[in-house]
Amino acid sequence: MYPHNSKYSEHAFKSANQIYFTVWFGENDSELPLYIRRIIKWNAKIFKRNKIPFVFLYKGNRIGKQLLKMDQSIIKVDVSNLMQSANYETLFKNFKNERETQSKFELMCFQRFMVASSLFKKTNSELVHIDCDFMLSEKIIHETEYLENYQIASLGTGCTPLVYFKNTNFLNDFCGYFTQNIKKCDMVALKDFLETENVKFTKINLSTDLNNFIKNNSYLSFSIRANIEKLCKQRNIKIPNEKNNKDFLKTISEFFEFENRIIKFENKEIPFAHFQGWTRFVAKYIFTNLF
């Protein structure tokens, strides 16, 4: 079992070739939502099977207690002591929220990369950021196993739910860019960084059957949403104004299958399911009622 200690964890993952990391910053009395816990456990099993370190960076006492009960292969690191720096102050001072979500959340999306940059500074491992609500299939792991000749890679130019940094240097560069060039969200910041800076970006091309799911969608957050909406249109399923309608969620949940580390949507294997925006209600329904 790994203790919640950043110095010990630094030693533990120094020798790894590739590290996946995810982040959740909460208050001391806040908890991880059930559907997030289910997704983390699902991903952890895939990483464990493929001998890939999975590092969970967190803040919050209750969250720490919940994590202790999870798969012991997950390296859980309390990063409370890494939450402040001069760069944070610059970001917080200059950021103006242009979105409907709370400023605290939008800032956290930037801050997670800054914390990871600080934590992983002593390792030369390939670093892969994965959103907490981003559920992988095992096949995508095998298809991205041997990436070559890149500095930053992803499934799309605006894909912060899953982004590869060849080493800490390129993660540092990204953090330095968005600190001085404030953008409305982290996805836009990454897209602009790749377009304006001297960075060798590689778009990950999946096999045809998986790539059909995302096609030309650079913002992968929309892929599940777009596919659900397309399916509803094809089958004359009315999408209610209140997306947490239980009858609607039950209908949608029946199009998903989760088995043997494979995710299927409408009987077709898909590379991932990013339950972001209103589709989080779908995840909450699935993992409350079906698991």
Does the pLDDT of residue 146 top 90, yes or no?
no
CB 186 within 8 A of CB 159: no
Q: What is the mean pLDDT of residues 140-156?
A: 87
Same domain, 189 and 235: no
Q: If phi over 0 gives left and psi between -120 and 50 gives alpha, with beta otherwise, what is residue 219? A: beta
Q: What is the mean pLDDT of residues 233-239?
A: 92
CATH number of domain containing 190: 3.90.550.20
For 1-10, 134-143, 238-247, 257-266, which range has the lowest pLDDT when averaged over its residues? 1-10
Residue 124 within a domain? yes
Residue given tokens 């997030």 in the structure block: 36
Number of domains within the chain: 2
Residue 260 within a domain? yes
Residue 169 within a domain? yes
Same domain, 191 and 263: no
Same domain, 143 and 235: no
pLDDT at 219: 56
Q: What is the mean pLDDT of residues 233-259?
A: 92
Q: Which of 24, 188, 46 is nearest to 111 (CA)?
A: 24
Same domain, 162 and 256: no
Last residue of a domain, one of 203, 230, 250: 203
Q: Which of 119, 151, 146 is nearest to 22 (CA)?
A: 119
Residue 90 within a domain? yes
Last residue of a domain, one of 175, 203, 231: 203
Higher pLDDT, 67 or 14: 67
Same domain, 166 and 213: no
Residue 190 within a domain? yes
pLDDT bracket for residue 150 (50, 70, 90): very high
Q: Which residues contact 256 (CB under 8 A, 6 or more apart)?
A: 263, 264, 265, 273, 282, 286
Does the pLDDT of residue 165 top 90, yes or no?
yes
**To the nearest whole percent, how much of the chain has pLDDT over 90?**
54
55-59, 157-161, 222-226, 256-260: range with highest mean pLDDT: 55-59
Same domain, 181 and 235: no
Same domain, 97 and 219: no
Q: What is the mean pLDDT of residues 135-150?
A: 86
96-140 pLDDT per residue, tens: 888 877 888 889 999 999 999 999 988 889 999 999 999 999 988
Q: Which of 48, 47, 53 is nearest to 19 (CA)?
A: 53
Q: Which residues contact 263 (CB under 8 A, 6 or more apart)?
A: 135, 136, 137, 256, 257, 269, 270, 271, 272, 273
Residue 1 within a domain? no
**To the nearest whole percent, how much of the chain has pLDDT over 70?**
91
Residue 83 within a domain? yes
21-63 pLDDT per residue, tens: 999 999 999 999 999 999 999 999 999 999 999 999 999 999 9
Dist CA 235 CA 229 (whole Å): 10
Range of the domain at 76: 6-203
pLDDT at 226: 84
How high does pLDDT run on average in the chain?
87
Same domain, 222 and 190: no
pLDDT at 4: 45
Amino acid at 205: N
Higher pLDDT, 145 or 200: 200
Same domain, 114 and 250: no
Same domain, 222 and 199: no
Residue 151 within a domain? yes
Last residue of a domain, one of 185, 203, 221: 203
Structure-token pair, residue 96: 């103006």
Same domain, 110 and 232: no
CB 126 within 8 A of CB 14: no
Same domain, 173 and 111: yes
pLDDT bracket for residue 253 (50, 70, 90): very high
